[in-house]
Amino acid sequence: MSPPKKGRRPRAHVARSPTTKPIPYARQTVEDDDIAAVVEVLRSDWLTTGPKVSEFEKGLARFTGASHAVAVTNGTAARHAAMFAAGIGPGDEVIVPAMTFAATANAVVFQGGTPVFADVDPDTLLLNPAKAEAKITPRTKAIVTVDYAGQPCDYDAFEAVTRKHHLLVIADSAHALGGEYKGRRVGTLADLTTLSFHPVKQITTGEGGMVTTERPEFAAAIERFRNHGITSDHRSRAEQGTWFYEMVELGYNYRITDMQCALGLSQLKKLPGWIARRRAIANQYDRAFADLDTIHPLKVSSDVKHAYHLYVVRLDLERLKGDRATAFAMLRARGVGVNVHYIPVHLHPFYRKRFGTGPDLCPVAEKAYQEILSLPMYASLSDSEVDRVIHAVSEVMEKLAT
Ligand SMILES: *Cc1c(COP(=O)(O)O)cnc(C)c1O
């Protein structure tokens, strides 16, 4: 279609705005200074294992308040490294919430361990501490908390459980960088915490991940693990003028590049402003949907500062004519890129086959899965785009209401 000529085409035609782009559920923000930071590294001596890696680690440790931060290739590698540092191996059980991304459980399997799925709270979709405790056996080594959508879990409750049973808490905080629990920042709330810098998360390095911990022996183990199990890296050998190194255990190449870390450092400066923007968007959604009885946003505890990786609503299917798939299709047709997070992990064919899991294992997560939709949420979402989402959701709910 040719562009409308002034005064020639009927107005209604123009107002249809066929160029309106669909709004995705998540999107990175990359600005000119981010790009310049990456280009600067490309002109430098170190593309990997260079100074930007430790600068990014120090910057993230400072931001979170963690004593140690070790950067790796992605959030899944961070999970694998955390399982290694925790000493998870064959015969060990690790309790994992059913409502999470598959990588949370996969990392346990990488190390030969067995993920034991526990159910979540219906209001928040966060792992329920009592249900997690009920799954503890003599083989249990750790509980994995997932700060689903960006809301930190009830860490005091998990600390009480794990202290009693001598277990580790290994937080999957891929959704929650910038969040807080009782004034303490995500990254300091568990024995080991992992983060992801995938483009949909709060800050990005393209692909990237980090493990934070208070324990120096965990940090040292992860530094070896990301570098083949070798005791020194390329740069420290260059500085010492030596060729000697030893491989003391089996590791991987999970090293992140200096280009990625330069991007991460540049993004980190903007994180507080971006979190504030995410919270402002959530506020607008909360207010807009407060009067609808057909959808319910997840509850937020007064103990936390939510980092809003996702804004998740539950559909009240008893008050609606269609199901979630109907609402999903109607919103997508209106250019709103809704998504579903997540299919409960224990329902995936791999887990059913390998570990004999299946329906009715975690009924709260399974029911929630039928009802959830993630609405667009990212720092560069404009006010008019937020209005478009709110308008589309309200219109679809009105059409589907019984
Ligand atoms: C994104 C994510 C991961 C994995 O991170 P990648 O960087 O994509 O490997 C792990 N767990 C959760 C809950 C995530 O959302």
List pLDDT tens digits, range 379-393: 999 999 999 999 999
SS3 157: helix
Q: Any idea which of 13-17, 40-44, 188-192, 324-328 has the lowest mean pLDDT?
A: 13-17
Taking the centre of ligand 1 as the mean of its atom positions, its distance from the CA of residue 5, in whole angstroms, is 48
pLDDT of residue 19: 57
Q: Which atom of ligand 1 is nearest to the CA of 175?
A: 15
List pLDDT tens digits, range 244-262: 889 999 999 999 999 999 9
What's the predicted TM-score (pTM) here? 0.94
Taking the centre of ligand 1 as the mean of its atom positions, its distance from the CA of residue 75, in whole angstroms, is 5
Question: What is the DSSP-derived secondary structure letter of residue 337?
Answer: -
Query: Which residues 6+ apart lie within 8 Å of 4 measured at CB?
Result: 13, 14
Sign of CA dihedral 121, 114, 109, 221: positive
Question: Could you tell me what percent of the chain has a pLDDT over 70?
Answer: 95
CA-closest residue to ligand 1 atom 15: 174
- As a whole number of angstroms, the distance between CA 332 and CA 10 comes to 28
Taking the centre of ligand 1 as the mean of its atom positions, its distance from the CA of residue 91, in whole angstroms, is 25
The average pLDDT across 333-351 equals 98
Q: With 0-12 CB in 10 A as exposed, 13-18 as middle and 19+ as buried, what is 198? A: middle
What is the pairing mode between strands 184-185 and 140-146? unpaired
Catalytic residue positions? 201
Q: Which atom of ligand 1 is nearest to the CA of 197?
A: 7
- As a whole number of angstroms, the distance between CA 98 and CA 148 comes to 11
Under the banding of pLDDT at 50, 70 and 90, the label for residue 16 is very low
List pLDDT tens digits, range 38-48: 999 999 999 99
Under the banding of pLDDT at 50, 70 and 90, the label for residue 236 is confident
Q: Which of 80, 144, 172, 254 to mutate to test the pocket of ligand 1 (most atoms within 8 A of CB)?
A: 172
pLDDT of residue 357: 98
Q: Any idea which of 62-71, 118-127, 229-238 has the lowest mean pLDDT?
A: 229-238
Q: What does pLDDT average to over the chain?
A: 95
Give the CA distances from residue 202 to residues 30, 116, 260, 329, 393, in Å, rounded to whole numbers and listed in that order. Answer: 12, 29, 15, 27, 24
Taking the centre of ligand 1 as the mean of its atom positions, its distance from the CA of residue 98, in whole angstroms, is 15
Q: Which residues line ligand 1 (CB under 6 A)?
A: 74-76, 100-101, 103-104, 146, 172, 174-175, 196, 198, 209
